Copies of this chain bind each other. A is one copy, B any other.
Amino acid sequence: MKKKRVPSGVGPQTGKLWAGRFTERTHELVEAFTSSLAVDRRLYAHDIEGSIAHAKTLERARVLSRRETAAILRGLATVRAELDKGRFPFVPQDEDIHMAIERRLTELIGSVGGKLHTGRSRNDQVALDLRLYLRQELGRLIERATRLQQSLIGQARAHRDVAMPGYTHLQRAQPVLFAHHLLAYVEMLERDKGRLRDALTRTNVMPLGSGALAGSNYPVDRAYTAKLLGFPRVTENSLDAVSDRDCAVEALAALSLIMMHLSRLSEELVLWSSQEFRFVDLPDGFCTGSSMMPQKKNPDVPELVRGKTGRVYGHLLGLLTTLKGLPLSYNRDLQEDKEALFDALDTVSASVDVLAELLKGLMVNRKALAESVESGYLLATELADYLVTKGLPFRQAHAVTGRIVRACVEGDRDLRDLTVADLRTFSDRFQKDALAVITVDGALRRKAQVGGTAPQRVAARIREWERALR
């Protein structure tokens, strides 16, 4: 059997740490096509944190000596400092951040650097890095969402006495408190936080020690690695551990729901700041003008948030598609997880932050709201419920009131223009007290069960939220 003479430790592809088996250099198109460095370099701190824990675990398993471990830890500290300061000497062969760091480590501390990867594969290493990063970002996003809730609650408290038309089908429906409307978004964000927390729990599981797919040939104490890295649990199946991107998909689904909620809030901000609604003014600092039309003050921020919803949905669908039909275990397709996830996290984080800030400066047009709530037959349901209190079954009361409204529409009148006498031409159950009952205030106050828009309810809910989010 003939042995090719090649310099010890390297294949024909200088710089590729896996080159031994290969006889050709990587094609330059392939270098560009397969490199993930531009994307995964943001994982460097987590990669080094993981390597430190791995080195300590190898020491504990007596695979590394104390001296070797110390050298590796010192080297990693240097690499980390270089990366922190933007002075890390990347070379063209660095296909990803993991190999770049190992290469540099070995340059710094010599061949002992080559021992760091003992019992480890990029497959479990990258699974670890992704979980460390995602864990951090999910935690931060929960805090961001809380700040957005606080902005909403701040505005709710400041306008807790302001009524507005509530809408269904974008038609005026019934009066509600402006604060009640804002608190609807606080509820949505609280569910979002619940989903982020659940995703975080399932992310917070330690995969290192799964090797390339089958586990490690060394007696590593994975619980110890987990403890060093602050993971409460370890993965229980090595094949699954390196193939699994559930936590990324679950995060993307939770992020998509957040964007869905923000897109609804944004749609309302766009509507409310139109000349037709005039409910609010956005702060100048959150709007931009037109290159051509000098009068324009455009709600760019909510428009962009609404538009970016598509981007995040796209990432969710993209990753789900990528994962469809892949056999176990690791396949290179999985490299596509990170760009989608990173961009979605960035997008949602920025959207939450910018809306939280915008809402603080939102100016509410009390006059326009007060006028709006007075027209549009918003009190028709009160009228029907009045008839119910006078003994008419609701379905008949609804029909009578419907006819009253029809007559008003045809006569271009509003409900408040009607006299008791007018009402009595439709039903003799109307009494003198009818007009006193059919008011915006009455309508609000009556909706006093849990979840209703009555002022005392909404005030109490504001207090509960303030306490809970403190």
Q: Is the CB of B325 within 8 A of A263?
A: yes
| CA–CA, A237 and B112, complex, Å | 58
Q: Is the CB of A335 within 8 A of B30?
A: no
Q: Is the CB of B422 within 8 A of A293?
A: no
Residues of A60-89 contacting chain B, CB below 8 A = 63
Q: Is the CB of A219 within 8 A of B449?
A: yes
| CA–CA, A222 and B448, complex, Å | 11
A209, closest chain B residue (CB): B449
Residues of A322-347 contacting chain B, CB below 8 A = 322-336, 339-340
| CA–CA, A323 and B303, complex, Å | 11
Q: Is the CB of A111 within 8 A of B393?
A: yes
Q: Is the CB of A212 within 8 A of B106?
A: no
How many residues of A are counted as interface, with CB atoms below 8 angstroms from the partner's CB atoms?
A: 220
Q: Is the CB of A173 within 8 A of B212?
A: yes
| CA–CA, A287 and B30, complex, Å | 8
A298, closest chain B residue (CB): B169
Q: Is the CB of B396 within 8 A of A298?
A: no
A266 at the interface (CB under 8 A from B): yes
Q: Is the CB of A214 within 8 A of B174?
A: yes
> Provided the pairs A21-B403, A401-B294 are in contact, do residues A350 and B32 lie with their beta carbons within 8 angstroms?
yes
* Number of identical monomers bound together in the oligomeric complex: 4
Q: Is the CB of B402 within 8 A of A238?
A: no
List the one stretch of A42-50, A134-142, A176-184, A428-436 in contact with chain B: A176-184
Q: Is the CB of A296 within 8 A of B398?
A: no
Given contacts A183-B240, A294-B384, A310-B318, list 14 more A-B pairs with CB under 8 A: A8-B400, A17-B398, A63-B388, A122-B291, A122-B292, A169-B298, A170-B331, A184-B329, A234-B450, A238-B452, A257-B320, A264-B326, A268-B327, A309-B322
A290 proximity list for chain B (CB < 8 A): 18, 121-122, 168, 173, 212
1/0 contact string of A231-270 vs chain B (CB within 8 Å): 0001111111111101001100100110010011011101
Q: Is the CB of B318 within 8 A of A216?
A: no
The 5 A-B residue pairs with the shortest CB-CB distance, nearest first, are A20-B402, A215-B452, A314-B318, A307-B333, A18-B289
A191, closest chain B residue (CB): B246
Interface of chain A: mostly helix, strand, loop or mixed: helix
1/0 contact string of A443-470 vs chain B (CB within 8 Å): 1001111111110010001000000000
| CA–CA, A268 and B326, complex, Å | 8
A207, closest chain B residue (CB): B451
A390 at the interface (CB under 8 A from B): no
1/0 contact string of A136-150 vs chain B (CB within 8 Å): 000000000000000
1/0 contact string of A368-411 vs chain B (CB within 8 Å): 00001001111011111100100001111011111111110101
Neighbour of A19 across the interface among B289, B340, B351, CB < 8 A: B289
Q: What are 22 A-B interface contacts by the 8 Å CB criterion?
A: A27-B285, A171-B297, A173-B212, A173-B296, A174-B211, A175-B214, A184-B240, A185-B240, A187-B240, A194-B202, A215-B451, A237-B461, A253-B256, A264-B325, A264-B326, A268-B327, A271-B276, A276-B277, A276-B372, A291-B398, A311-B340, A314-B318
